[in-house]
Amino acid sequence: MKIGLILTAGGIGKRFGSETPKQFVFLKGKPLFILTLDNLLKIQEFNNIILTYPKSWENVFFDLIEQFPPSRTVDFVEGGSERFYSVWNALQHPSIKSTDIVLIHDAVRPFVTSSLIERLLNGIANFDGVIPGIKVKDTLKESDENGVVLHALNRDKIFAIQTPQAFKTQILVESYSKAINEGKIFTDDSGVAEFAGFKIKIVEGEEINIKITTPLDFAFAEFLNI
């Protein structure tokens, strides 16, 4: 069984507020996307690896790749205008098309662990896709458009979903093709597969697997002794 990895580093990260895309900001001595990539390259299960990059920042991207060369073979694919299209571009690459299973991960989640990857791969045999989730701790309420509470949600059934997300490759390609043909765009890969009617399983995520979206997230990541 061949396993592929798509690492998405093709976004601009508008919410982060920096002059350059947040994946290029240095964390613990390395650009954020390199830190994430290096962490994933230690996991031997991956046969083929794709890294997407932002079209308008390719010079900066490849300069950083030259400064911090990957320890294994990595293929590079130009990102699209949205994350959705970046993943679609990567799914068209021959190295991913040749895989049986593909995992999609955000380059701004640098602390992904091998144990999380193992849980995803162990679960994929019986499902079309497997995604990590964390049960929410706060009370959740749904409001109307004016902010007036309608009702509380049952948090026992609510999960904050993370990446990486694992799929049978052909199923994800079919799902993306269907979404594109019908003019749909999703921010989450499992949402694409769900739209196409496939069965997705949630497994236990990890609190350390944080997504760096804001300067506060970055400050917290710097504080972590990892």
Residue 9 has pLDDT above 60, yes or no: yes
- Compute the distance between CA of residue 81 and CA of residue 6 in angstroms, rounded to an integer: 17
For strands 149-153 and 140-143, give the pairing.
Answer: antiparallel
pLDDT on residue 190: 97
Strands (DSSP E) contained in 54-168 are: 75-78, 101-106, 129-135, 140-143, 149-153, 159-161, 165-168
The pLDDT value given to residue 30: 95
pLDDT of residue 200: 97
Q: Which two tokens stand for residue 210?
A: 């944080």
pLDDT in tens, 183-204: 999 999 999 999 999 999 999 9
- The mean pLDDT value for 214-219 works out to 90
CATH numbers and ranges of domains, the chain: 3-131+161-223 (3.90.550.10)
Alpha helices in the chain (DSSP H): 32-41, 58-67, 83-91, 94-97, 114-123, 169-181, 189-195, 215-223
The answer to whether residue 17 scores a pLDDT higher than 80 is no
Confidence class for position 55, pLDDT limits 50, 70, 90: confident
DSSP three-state, residue 18: coil
Question: Nearest 10 degrees: CA dihedral of 67, 102, 206, 202?
Answer: 160
Is the predicted pLDDT of residue 80 greater than 60, yes or no?
Answer: yes
Residue type (1 letter), 121: L
Mean pLDDT of 98-124: 96
What pLDDT score was predicted for residue 183? 95
- When the pLDDT of each residue in the chain is averaged and rounded to a whole number, the result is 93
Assigned token pair, 162:
């993370």
* Residue 181, amino acid: N
Mean pLDDT of all residues in 30-45? 95
d(CA 33, CA 221): 13
User: Is the pLDDT at 105 greater than 60, yes or no?
Assistant: yes
* pTM for the model: 0.94
Say yes or no to pLDDT of 13 above 60: no
- Asked which of 7-21, 22-36, 198-212 is least confident by mean pLDDT, the reply is 7-21
Question: How much of the chain exceeds pLDDT 70, in percent?
Answer: 96
For residue 98, the model assigns a pLDDT of 96
Contact 103, 165 (CB under 8 A): yes
**pLDDT tens track for 141-166:** 999 999 999 999 998 899 999 999 99
Q: What is the pLDDT of residue 14?
A: 56
Overall average pLDDT of the 80-90 stretch? 94
Rounded to whole angstroms, how far apart are CA atoms 194 and 113? 26
Rounded Cα–Cα distance for residues 133 and 141 (Å) = 19
The band of 132, judged by pLDDT with boundaries at 50, 70 and 90, is: very high
Closest by CA to 209, choosing from 104, 132, 144, is: 132
Length of the chain: 226
Q: List the beta bridge partners of residue 147.
A: none
Cβ-contact 139, 152 below 8 angstroms = yes
Task: Provide mean pLDDT across the span 53-60.
Answer: 92
Which residues on neighbouring strands pair with residue 76, listed in sequence order? Answer: 51
